[in-house]
Structures are given as C-alpha cells and as structure tokens.
C-alpha cells in the first residue's frame, strides 16, 4: 500500500517538457483512504491546496461531514465498484473557510482477500468547479437560445387565440343576449394562451435540478404544443401514435422537456420538404424509452460520430451546443441517447431508468 501511495503521489504532478525548459505544475488533486463507513484513515498533503485543511485535521473524521447536504444521499446510494473497477462521482465538498466547491472523485475499493468484503475505499479527488460553472453557463445560454428560436412560434400560438377572442367579442357586441357558448370557447382560448406563456417562462427561468414525479405523456404533449406552429411553417406533422398507461418518471421535468424540444427542433430543421416526425414512449425492464424519428435526409456516418460534441453542427446558424446539453441532461438522469440514421431519416432514442 505504501508503494502504491508513493506512486500515485508522483503521478499527481503534471510534467510538461518543451525544447528548452521543463515546467512542473503541482496538481490540486488529493488522495484519500477511508473505511466503507466514511472514516478517513489517510489524506495526502495536497488536500491543503484544495480545501485548506491540514491532513491531521481530517484523519479520524467522517468524510461525509464535508459533503454538501443536497449531494449526501446521492453519494451514499452510489454502489461500490467491483474489484478492478473505478467509479466516478461528482459532488460538492466544503473547504475550511466554509465555501463549497465542486469536485470529482475517482473511487476504487480494496477488498479483503478471503471474504471479498470491502474494507477500504481509495479515491483521487479533483477540483472541477471551473468546469461545472462553464457547463452551467452553456446550459443557460442554450436555454435562452432555444427560447429565442421559439419566440416566433409562440407568438403565432398566442395570435390565433387572440384573433378568436376578438371575433367572439365583436359577435357578442352585435347580439342582444350573452352567448354562453361563445364564453366557453373564449375561456378555452384564454387557457391555451396561459399554458403557452407558462411553458415559455419555465424555459427562460434558471433553476437547479429538481427531481420529482412527472408524467412523460404530459412532457411530450407540452413539447409538441410549443413546436406545433414552427412545424406548421415547414409543413411538418408531429405525431404521437400512443400514450403510456403509466408514464410516471422521477426526473427534472423542465430539463427533460428541454431535451425533447431541442431534438424535435433539430428534426424540423432537418427536413427541407414536407415531412413527418413521430415521437413515441414505451416502458420495459425498469426503463423508459422515448424515440423521436424524422423523415429527413439523414446524417452521414462521419457526422454521426460527432453528434453531441460541442460546437459541431450541420446547421448554418447553429452552434453545436444544443445536443451537447441534451446528452449532459440525460447523463445527469443516469440515462443515455442513441442515434441511428439513414437516407430515409434519423431516430434519436432516449433511455431513462424508471427508478
């Protein structure tokens, strides 16, 4: 174990060699050994650079005492890796000055040779605060970008009910009696405008991840409603062939809706001629699957490998961040996205765990 620690300590220094000089940049990563219950047995001196603690101030204390309360349950519920595996966990940890920073720990388990029971956790922890901030900035930027693209469609969605309201008001003015049928239609139109405006506010308002029970049927319907006008402009029909009997899913509803809107909008943009988009949801083996298929010209095999990479886009006015954010959101939900394409069209398949 001492040889392993010494080796890892040496690896925690980045050495960059140039033609004239050798630059040595000390790493901010720190090593920690703790029991499965979280009692710290060893922490490397580099912890002081990141957290401000001397190693002696941490040894003998519970590691979980320094983990942010919102991340505490998530860190406890993470299953331990097998003998040769390493798991990666991102969470917030408290510095000596009381400020929480985002870190990523690569954790391996040392097991008893006879019983194979875990008796020690070994981790290398890195400061990823700058990366997390950058991702949050990109997320908010992309969210506002989507809102901007939806503005014309939403204006169209609100204009139609307003035209109806204006017409019914004029009809009632010309009549001598109050027409309750007209009032019922007007009330429905007002509710429709209210629903659209609420959807816009949810997209524009910054928020933290909020995992609750949502009905996937409703999330899909909301996304379709927002893009109906945009699809109509290009003579694209969005269909949902079926409805899940039980579409309940524990997720961040607003973020999942953002993923659906991004992929649907990409599908609309992919079609130069009138076409059809089909969005379907199904459940099997504790997993929910949402597939979005278009009848566009497809994606080349070379470009297919780059899907989800930042700043890769085939759209003239795109920035390549939309799908990257979609992949990140689904990853936060412990799911994944698959893409299949042919000259007849493209299918994005989102798989999310139900539990």
pLDDT, tens digit, for every residue of 285-304?
889 999 999 988 888 777 77
What pairs with residue 91 in β-bridges?
Answer: 103
**Mean pLDDT of all residues belonging to the chain:** 78
Whether residue 350 has pLDDT greater than 70: yes
Whether residue 321 has pLDDT greater than 70: no
Sign of CA dihedral 49, 52, 58, 61: negative
Note the pLDDT of residue 265: 86
Query: What's the pLDDT band for 318 if we cut at 50, 70, 90?
Result: low
Tell me which of 79 and 62 has the higher pLDDT: 62
CB-side neighbour CA atoms (13 Å) of 12 = 22
How far, rounded to the nearest angstrom, does the alpha carbon of residue 261 sit from its chain's CA centroid?
13
Whether residue 330 has pLDDT greater than 70: yes
Note the pLDDT of residue 291: 94
Whether residue 26 has pLDDT greater than 50: no
Tell me which of 111 and 351 has the higher pLDDT: 351
Note the pLDDT of residue 226: 77
Whether residue 8 has pLDDT greater than 60: no
Q: How many angstroms separate the CA atoms of 82 and 87, rounded?
A: 9
Q: Which of 27-36, 53-62, 90-99, 140-149 has the least mean pLDDT? A: 140-149
Whether residue 220 has pLDDT greater than 80: yes
Q: How many angstroms separate the CA atoms of 308 and 322, rounded?
A: 8
Whether residue 94 has pLDDT greater than 60: yes
Whether residue 177 has pLDDT greater than 60: yes
Whether residue 219 has pLDDT greater than 60: yes
Percent of the chain with pLDDT over 70: 75
Note the pLDDT of residue 24: 37
- The answer to whether 262 and 326 are in contact (CB under 8 A) is yes
73-82: long-range pairs with CB below 8 Å, 24+: 80/36, 80/109, 80/118, 80/121, 81/107, 81/108, 81/109, 82/109
Whether residue 324 has pLDDT greater than 70: yes
The residue-averaged pLDDT of 9-13 equals: 46
Note the pLDDT of residue 347: 92
The residue-averaged pLDDT of 11-33 equals: 53
Find all residues with CB under 8 Å of 57, minimum gap 6, and list them.
Answer: 96
**Structural domains for the chain:** 2-127 (3.30.450.20), 133-353 (3.30.565.10)
Whether residue 331 has pLDDT greater than 80: yes
Note the pLDDT of residue 81: 65
Tell me which of 254 and 75 has the higher pLDDT: 254
């Amino acid at each position: 174990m001492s040889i392993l620690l010494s080796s890892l300590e040496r690896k925690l220094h980045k050495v960059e060699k140039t033609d004239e000089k050798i630059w040595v940049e000390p790493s901010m990563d720190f090593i920690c050994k703790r029991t499965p219950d979280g009692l710290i047995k060893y922490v490397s001196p580099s912890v002081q650079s990141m957290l401000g603690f001397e190693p002696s101030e941490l040894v003998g204390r519970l590691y979980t005492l320094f983990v942010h309360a919102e991340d505490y349950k998530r860190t406890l519920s993470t299953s331990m890796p097998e003998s040769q595996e390493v798991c990666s966990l991102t969470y917030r940890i408290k510095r000596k000055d009381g400020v929480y920073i985002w870190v990523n720990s690569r954790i391996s388990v040392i097991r008893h040779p006879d019983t194979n029971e875990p008796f020690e956790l070994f981790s290398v922890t890195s400061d990823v605060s700058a990366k997390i901030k950058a991702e949050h900035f990109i997320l908010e930027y992309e969210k506002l970008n989507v809102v901007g693209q939806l503005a014309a469609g939403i204006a169209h969605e609100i204009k139609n009910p307003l035209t109806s309201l204006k017409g019914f008001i004029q009809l009632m003015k010309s009549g001598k009696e109050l027409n309750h049928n007209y009032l019922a239609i007007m009330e429905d139109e007002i509710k429709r405008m209210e629903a659209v405006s609420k959807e816009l506010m949810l997209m524009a308002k910054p928020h933290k991840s909020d995992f609750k029970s949502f009905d996937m049927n409703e999330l899909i319907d909301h996304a379709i409603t927002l893009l109906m006008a945009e699809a109509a402009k290009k003579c694209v029909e969005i269909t949902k062939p079926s409805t899940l009997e039980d579409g309940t899913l524990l997720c961040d509803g607003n973020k999942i809706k953002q993923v659906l809107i991004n992929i649907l909008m990409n599908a609309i943009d992919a079609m130069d001629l009138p076409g059809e988009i089909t969005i379907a949801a199904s459940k099997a083996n504790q997993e929910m699957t949402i597939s979005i298929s278009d009848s566009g010209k497809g994606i080349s095999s070379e470009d297919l490998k780059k899907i989800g990479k930042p700043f890769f886009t085939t759209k003239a006015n795109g920035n390549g961040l939309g799908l990257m954010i979609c992949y990140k959101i689904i990853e936060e939900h412990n799911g994944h996205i698959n893409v299949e394409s042919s000259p007849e069209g493209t299918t994005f398949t989102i798989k999310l765990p139900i539990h």
